[in-house]
Structure 1
């Protein structure tokens, strides 16, 4: 209690006949309070990097994501496995989450073809590629200028495009353009992702951020990837921070990498939720103009669970399922197009997709 608050209480107590007065703070208590106030007035993380609360938050999210990756969705006329850390739209309209009530098979008329790779998919009416990533109007926020916010938003879109739509990234090549947008000072961001690309594993998987296929197994069926989602932004905990939130679903049609000319098409559905930050270098130690990754979560539908940790998505084809190949999924049904819940509320077990 400050001196002013204490004086107000004494005046009120005199008027009320001295009812129930709180104990006056001791000199030590007042000194401790003054120290706390002084500490809180200092710029948080000034020249030392993001505040400890942000760092702890990233670590927790990364652990949760590491546990979530591995859900494999099922598709086609028979069951295909699904991966849970990579699927829903909390912002844009999506279906409900009653995946278990959805049909577990697809009609032959809904199966994709080379001519119609999105036939039978809700994504048929979605935007093509980068056109599906719309940047909102930038306004000053959190002590960051309109120019700073615009830079954060355009950089976030560039990252999403380079990480999920660039043909070289999809072929499994090193996503240099995407990495160059991230701050090299962030050990659990760009540094970790570079290690994951060089030596992937279940505890460091490039699929947390990048959509990558093994070029020796599959190739794109056409040159269109369907996209739906939303980009938003807000101020950080303190001035000098702007946070950008991305929630997007990408639909990839592929065929087998058969030199003889494969015709069977399979689709993999990847949903990503990310939180990126741009910091004022005058207040936080950062590389000017580069993004920090505060959250990275993903879920992939029609991705072989039994091959988790190798750094690639592994779609399964109807012919493989008919032949009895197991993608590691359980009987739990999942709709990879359901965007009604955030990823951290979904099951982390490998399930079965109802459609792709």
Structure 2
């Protein structure tokens, strides 16, 4: 292993002596550190517990979707429970440049650049992606790194992920009014999904303030859902809310990715469609530091109508339609909160019955599916 290569090996003969010596020292150290070790008692206990869970058919985090608010009566919001199966393979390379490419002067293979690109933020989403995101290596999220192992690691933080498109006139609607509609839509999204008060289970006052009180029954139904949640009036179909007695957020960052489009509306104004995914890292409120994530994708359609032609409130939005898919939340629980599940705790809610879904896949529209669908996810 430590013998210097002969001159008839062109790939190694060009390596300087000091670089070769550094390589041999590092290689010998790596071999010693990678030697098999007896698993700890804790590791054996965890392994046995996971095997027991698998044998009992226990599954973790779920995925839910639901219809637009006006379609909820008589229909169950579709919720799918999700489970992530991750595997890691390890290969041993014997070639010098494969095992220690950084030893070659100048980084000829660009490994430093690729690693920097992998960790750099993604550009804003302007069109629908054509495929699911390629996830990073499987990693367990921690208090210090709550997005480890998640494609959301490269997403923008909070409001920074809601990038407004350039406003331009739509028919007779001037550009400044289009810009107003876009800003109001962003305010609605922030108030419903990013406002700390909302996320911690409080009343989403800033989101409700954007909606038109003259829209028939809308605010009354939302108030009913917040005050007395039920299957027919479930506030999590529009608001991301967690029970503070059950879980608490990890840090202040909620990862956000999506896009906004606009067109001529049906009420003399401009209609805006927002499609965004939010990723929430959470821990249990009773002490354990195990981190889990809930993924919420929302599609909201609103319109800033023409107050000269319709009985609407100036500067308020009509909520035309909204839908959602929620990954890692107990199925069929209608208490007004999302309920993330933890691998260390026995799952609650209904057993999975639907297909597996990637909660980070934004290349597909939200699936209508069947009522009562409760499936699995491929990752959280």
Output the TM-score relative to the length of structure 2.
0.67
> Unaligned stretches of 5+ in structure 1?
1-58, 79-88
Greater shift, 339-348 or 140-149, is seen at 339-348
| Kept after mapping to 2: 8 A contact 1:73/1:300 | no
Query: Which residue of the other structure, out of 243, 253, 258, is the alignment partner of 2:281?
Result: 253
**1:215 & 1:289 partners in 2: Cα distance?**
33
Aligned to 1:186: 215
Tell me the CA shift for residue 124 of structure 1.
0.7
**1:66 & 1:250 partners in 2: Cα distance?**
28
Alignment of 1:311 with 2:319, yes or no, is no
Aligned to 1:37: none
Equivalent residues in 2 for 1:1-356, closer than 5 Å: 62-63=70-71, 67=75, 69-76=77-84, 91-93=127-129, 95=131, 110-237=139-266, 240-258=268-286, 261-307=287-333, 309-321=334-346, 328-330=351-353, 332-346=355-369, 348=371, 349-356=373-380
* Length, aligned pairs only: 275
Tell me, what secondary structure is at the counterpart of 2:240? coil
Alpha-carbon RMSD across the aligned residues, in angstroms, is 2.8
Distance 1:299 1:331, change over 3 A: closer
Tell me the CA shift for residue 283 of structure 1.
0.5
| Kept after mapping to 2: 8 A contact 1:303/1:327 | no
Larger relative contact order, structure 1 or 2 (CA cutoff 8 Å, min sep 6) = 1
**2:326 & 2:191 partners in 1: Cα distance?**
18
**1:67 & 1:185 partners in 2: Cα distance?**
26
| Kept after mapping to 1: 8 A contact 2:328/2:340 | yes
Distance 1:60 1:311, change over 3 A: closer
Tell me, what secondary structure is at the counterpart of 1:253? strand
**1:66 & 1:95 partners in 2: Cα distance?**
34
Tell me the CA shift for residue 188 of structure 1.
4.4
**1:137 & 1:188 partners in 2: Cα distance?**
33
**1:327 & 1:119 partners in 2: Cα distance?**
28
Tell me the CA shift for residue 127 of structure 1.
0.5
Deviations 1:25-59 (A, max 9, x none): xxxxxxxxxxxxxxxxxxxxxxxxxxxxxxxxxx9
**2:199 & 2:281 partners in 1: Cα distance?**
12
Distance 1:228 1:60, change over 3 A: closer
**2:277 & 2:127 partners in 1: Cα distance?**
12
Distance 1:114 1:267, change over 3 A: same
Greater shift, 139-148 or 195-204, is seen at 139-148
Tell me the CA shift for residue 347 of structure 1.
5.1
**2:154 & 2:132 partners in 1: Cα distance?**
19
Tell me the CA shift for residue 206 of structure 1.
1.0
Distance 1:96 1:171, change over 3 A: closer
Tell me, what secondary structure is at the counterpart of 1:177? helix
Deviations 1:15-34 (A, max 9, x none): xxxxxxxxxxxxxxxxxxxx
